[in-house]
Structure 1
């Protein structure tokens, strides 16, 4: 599958490594790691074949759910992408000729995935980390430690799933009649959402509180519901939910992943998980 031509936020040469339970072994193909964002701002970590430009693997990443750092147990240029919600781990090896910038690249990946804006002093410190005793490789300081000191993107999974539970429970019950669930934009229709906020003051207020400063009123809420950007965001979220990343999405929201066993696809799984959690609270 040829990867779409989207401008990368981060891009450098790196290959994949496989883990056999005891050791990691390099895939000798030349590769490229890229991070791209769609129109709604959702980040995607990609590994491409450097020769054919085909996609080897791709992961949607939610801020705060992943870290990218040096594997300290290895003296080689081995790096790890790890998801906290699912404990999935993916190993890579740097292939750029300039080894001294490995740490800088790793920090850039980690910060970009987590929406971290590093302060100039932090960036300078990260770029000036010492090499190993042999002087052959950059020893990345734990950029994850720096990252933990930076504020993460605003996120409140509990508020989010409570709100989505109410919305999807109100609008998404008909999804089960289809062989494949409709996209979120077809479930959360503009007309349905406007009706819902008019009839339900609690949902209206909860949504208003999620808006950026300067838009936190009823008019701002209506403007956002009517905006094409919301339709695009729902389309991107549907794409992520209907991919093999659904388990990561459920995990990052603290939702029960067992619903995947009884759901025909990702959208139905999300609806079932939100309803299940909401019903437990009731």
Structure 2
């Protein structure tokens, strides 16, 4: 299998026998889409508690669609259905923040239509469906009430994501700013920018030679600083960073980061990944200093 194209937190729902109701399973999971070695797109569901892939569906272009279940009063239940069969698979979003639900669904359907397409990630704060955001009153990973897919929706006011963010900021300020509640989660997209990377290529020419073995082999030029500048400024590089960023947020890259010489826990979050790289660099600098001291 290649690296995930899309990955996000989601649980499974199961149809209640003899009825049209579906009940949400509380098991923490993740939906992962990636291209397999067989050249086909795989839609997988991974148990985040056991780290096992419990469902692996092979999808052909334009044969499936991932849609919201409009009858769900809870509002965050989705169905994967096929044109070539009567298969139906139900899922529910497990991230406490619903603001990116539509973004994930849009990219899932883009890949279902064309497995070679590049996911399009929205700019921070952009959400064309903001007027219809679902309630965030549920706790993270909390399952909706069983049978809620056909329950009547409440008429009471539900807080929006913006209102909750404001409340979170107020709580953080009341605590003296010592907590992490009001601090936005860091993003690799905001870190691995052309503005941040370009100076590194100029100040450390050895990086140019070190990075080229990991770049596409069909590059038409020799290893140069300008070539790397063009690569990190390209939409393809930005898309790859966004995909990696999202995969890290799911905590499912423990096995992959071991190949980078990092501990498995570095694949459990963006912060853990950055801390592991920082520690790796610190150790490397210490070793280099030790070598210099030995030869003096």
- The two structures have a TM-score, normalised by structure 1, of 0.42
Which has a greater percent of helix?
Answer: 1
- The two structures have a TM-score, normalised by structure 2, of 0.40
Q: Decide which structure has the larger Cα Rg and report it.
A: 2
